[in-house]
Structure 1
Amino acid sequence: MEENHHKRWSSASCAVGAASSFATTLVTFPVYKTIFRQQLHALSITEAISQLRQEGLAGFARGIAPPLLARTLQGALMYGTHDNLLRAFSDRSPGPYSLRDRAFAGLLSGFLEALAFGPFERVQNVLQDGRTVRRFPTTWSILEEFNSYAPKERLALGYYRGLSLILTRNGLGCALYFSFKDPLRDGLSDRGLPCWLPALVSGSVNGTAISFLLFPLGVLIANVQSQVGKEETLRLPAAAAAVWRARGRKATLLYRGGSLLILRAGVTWGLTTAIYDLLVDIRG
């Protein structure tokens, strides 16, 4: 009976993660694309919006399919694997989940997420770079380019370019998110707030803080993954130095897009956490 309940709960956690991620990605895609242009070109919000407006509606919608598909599946994988890993750890060590178990389960789920969906992010970043529109007008044209490489280069230069950066960002981000999500929610619940508000605030504050902390890493990922070609360098120190020089060696310019990131992360993680916790309460 317990095993069947666990299987049903794992399926439910995957489903709610997928549904909430799909909805929030669709709502926040305009914000995400504006942030991406700021990360790539160090533009102000006004300049980024102006650039997107010049490209028209078709150009604005370019690149929406990969993140929509990836984020939907990512939500299912992230919550589903974390739940299973956490239960596996608790089987060996009965009792309430410790901070170490939550962090380690989050780290592993983040690694799996990066390995499974790194190629989606890679294609998405190439598609959303306005400089590649003529060379790569469609997703298929990008896949043809990657598949033309030798097998090893197909992974290193193509689908998994910047993998170490993505593993670091996703693993650390998931570890921090799952470590502090529930403690922050429980602390707010003790203050007599409406039942839905603690999870919403916990997800918003937690997700926003983590996203802002890892934002410079996201800038580096966007610049590394938007490059296409065997002639481009894969040495991360050189790529980081190039980004630093392009920002005029100013730390503030590394956070171009940070203000919009707060809005996007707050909406995305707040809604996702609230929906997920609501399902937990319903299922009891």
Structure 2
Amino acid sequence: MIQLTIMKITGYGPWTLTLGSDREHELQMLQSQLYNKLQELFSKKNCLVFLNRSDEYFSVTNGLSLDEHIVIQKELESLFDVKLSMSIGYGENPYDANLDAYEAKKSQKFLNEQYSIFGTLNGHSEHSVTIMHLDVDDLTSKRKQKMSPYDTSSLMFKIYSRMSEYFLSKNSLTFFMGGDNFMVVTNSEFKNFAKDFIKISKDEFEIELNCGIGTAQTSRDAVKLATKSLDTIREIRDSGKEKPEIYELN
């Protein structure tokens, strides 16, 4: 089971209009500051925040209680003029948890109305989460050969779009983490998914991906293991040995 919290700025559109037309720089600063604070607060609770859109954020919050969500909301309200809603859902896979959270907010199913928290809490800490960390193998040398910075960005977004489409069909959620890094919140069939998409990236983009996989009780620990797995692939490659495409730790 996966517990997922979706955070969204409330009344954002009307609020932005109060800033006048010369507002874009202020909005970009606000969004980056808000993301920074969310990442700080949730990481202290062994969670990790993923940027879905600039006004919306996802976090896998296995084991995080309602009271802990309220503490985070209180701190955010003390720091920012804008307010956030939190929608908590859970399911057998990440996509179903996302739907559960969405439906809870849509139907106004409050867990705490004062702090705009909707949803259903799982609260069980014994359930594990699996996260993949993928990156492009040796992108630096590829860029030196034939790709400008903007060409590289364009390619990363094409890969991200294809990756998101593929993993969504497997009830998993994909997030672009910057550079050439992607993370996928997935479920028990992850090994087959990773192998299949690595082949897709070779066939469609002529790009080789590495995939580190981590499984733990919290999303921060799962990401730590996934990143350590990815680092292990690089270490094997740099040692001159034949590297695996996929490496897993739990």
TM-score by length of 2: 0.25
| Structure with greater contact order relative to length (CA < 8 Å, sep ≥ 6) | 1
Structure whose residues are more often strand by fraction: 2
Structure whose residues are more often helix by fraction: 1
